[in-house]
Amino acid sequence: MNGVITMAEEKDQLLNDYEEEDFYLSSPRRTMLAKGVFKELFHERNVDHSNLSDHVKKALEDAKEEGMLKPVAVGAIPFDPKNAPQLIIPEKILFAEPLQENDKLQDCKVSVRTYECQFIPEREEYMEGVNKGLTYIKDGELEKFVLAKALRCQTMEPIDNKQILRNLVQHNAGGYTFAVNLLNRQSVDSDQIHKRTFIGASPELLVSRSGTTVLANPLAGSRPRSEDPVEDKRRAEELLASEKDLHEHAVVVEAVAEGLKGLCKNLMVPDKPSLVKTETMWHLSTEMKGELVDSQLTSLDLALALHPTPAVCGFPTKRAYEVINEIEPFDRNYFTGIVGWCDESGDGEWIVAIRCAEIENSTVSLYAGAGIVEGSKPEEEWNETSAKLRTMLNAMGLNDL
């Protein structure tokens, strides 16, 4: 239990070594696998998120005093602060070089036999929610809000998380693939232990810190990919020229830049967005880079200063939260929260938790959201969220849903 940190010999070794109890994160900069639990940082549901970073700093200091050589905090922080973070200091961390798109991994087929899948809410209710939110925008209460839906799938047998994780990495090598072990809970009416895993492949970096260098990469505005190269190119060009999507993107960029302005100097923010692509979506993207003003600020400090951005919540934030809680008929839990790590020096990276699912035994809850602004059309937003679900559905072998 001394905080061993080692480098893996092969890039896919960490995938081979992954087990459901572990924390896994691959990014364009590194791949990491955390094993064991040296210390659980939170146990209760109601946690004061305003003191979250101080609590983590203290826990890392205590772990150091207790003999851990290089303590690191890893895990997930929820969208809604009424839910508890899932953060631990692991016993052991292994690192590997980042996986590249041309890296060939061992092929791994997944065939999930479903006997029930249900959208929450269903199509008509979701579109009614979009229209309701648009009235708040028309009345000037909101500039943007994000409306999500869930897809609950019940399978015939327990799901192989390791296979799903491997497929996500295989098809999203340029992004951020994660798996977080959530605290196990025991059924009220039996002795059965319910294992829960939060898993996904996000294209969006909230913020990272390496020494004094700070990076952020907000995404907002999207189009589904097409298998036809000509149509795919047309959609990408349409996205770059879309007044509605450019406005949605600008709202997010302005909020992130404002959040970093007092924390960074020499903050570079491009005037126009670029395009990034995943296996299923095109996104408008703006990469920001700055230099940390105060070296005592950790990656978690920076992440909490920005979370949640208008990309996953809306603007103004407080009112968008209220509208989301009013309209969405489910708890997002860790969807649109953040996943990542922070070490004793303050370095780390935090990812926006999208294109993801929560898996508990034979039940999978998938999530996707769409940014609603003036000019949004309910049917288009429904279709956009359905396209975003494809990342997880494809990884699960549910290509026909």
Residues 398 and 80: their CA atoms lie apart, in Å, by: 29
Q: Is 204 annotated as catalytic?
A: yes
* Cβ atoms 349, 98 nearer than 8 A: no
* Cβ atoms 354, 205 nearer than 8 A: no
Q: What are phi and psi of 199, to 5 degrees?
A: -140, 145
Task: Label residues 282-321 b or e (16+ Cβ within 10 Å = b).
Answer: bbbbbebbbebbeeebbbbbbbbebbbbbbbbbbbeebbb
Q: Is 144 annotated as catalytic?
A: yes
Q: Which two tokens stand for residue 255?
A: 């909020």
C-alpha dist (Å) from residue 25 to 33, 78, 94, 170, 347 = 7, 17, 11, 13, 15
| Pairing state between β 92-96 and 31-35 | antiparallel
Among 39, 57, 144, 149, the active-site one is 144
Residues 173 and 98: their CA atoms lie apart, in Å, by: 8
Among 11, 39, 143, 204, the active-site one is 204
CA quadruple 107, 112, 117, 120: dihedral, nearest 10: -40
| Residue of 384, 380, 323, 308 lying closest to 137 (CA atoms) | 323
Q: What are phi and psi of 383, to 5 degrees?
A: -65, -35
Q: What are phi and psi of 78, to 5 degrees?
A: -75, 170
Residues 140 and 54: their CA atoms lie apart, in Å, by: 37
Residues 372 and 134: their CA atoms lie apart, in Å, by: 7
Q: What share of the chain is helix, strand, coil (3-state, %, to 5)?
A: 30, 35, 35
3-state secondary structure of 116: strand
Residues 17 and 27: their CA atoms lie apart, in Å, by: 17
Q: In what order do the strands lie in the sheet with 281-285?
A: 219-224, 281-285, 274-277
Alpha helix ranges (H) inside 242-339: 243-261, 299-306, 317-327
Q: Which residues are catalytic?
A: 144, 204
